Homo-oligomer: A and B are copies of this chain.
Amino acid sequence: MSLVGFKAVHFSGIDAQDVEAPGFKGVEVRWLITKDDDATNFAMRLFKIKPGGRSAQHSHSWEHEVYVLEGQGLVFCEDDETRIEPGYVVFIPPDVPHYFRNVGDEPLRFLCLIPYKK
């Protein structure tokens, strides 16, 4: 029986999109679990940042929960940069300026989850 709502797929089967926003360079995102899956509380995204790439410094009213899968990076939050590598767990609170940078020779890959507003 096929169950509506259950999903188990390899991430590579989910389309990647380039992030075209100002200040983003070499950043690609896959929306792994979203409202389209009936996930009404939070979304799971997978980011890949190419060597030399980065996200723009920005802030917003929701938090990020991050787990680093591959690569070497820096996460900037308010006025500190912290080195991150595979196995790192990052929590970025709401309304705090932040960005991610790849500082290695391989892609930086991390999960980044965000809440849906109620």
Contact = CB atoms under 8 A, between A and B. Distances in A.
Could you say which of A2, A5, A8, A39 has the most chain B C-beta atoms within 10 Å of its C-beta?
A8
Chain copies in the assembly?
A: 2
B89 A32 contact: yes
Interface in A28-43: 32-33, 37-39, 41-42
Contact of A10 (B63, B88, B91): B88
Contacts of A93: 3-6, 38
B7 A42 contact: no
Interface of A: 1-12, 14, 32-33, 37-39, 41-42, 44, 63, 65, 67, 69, 75, 77-80, 82, 84-85, 87-93, 96, 111, 113, 115, 118
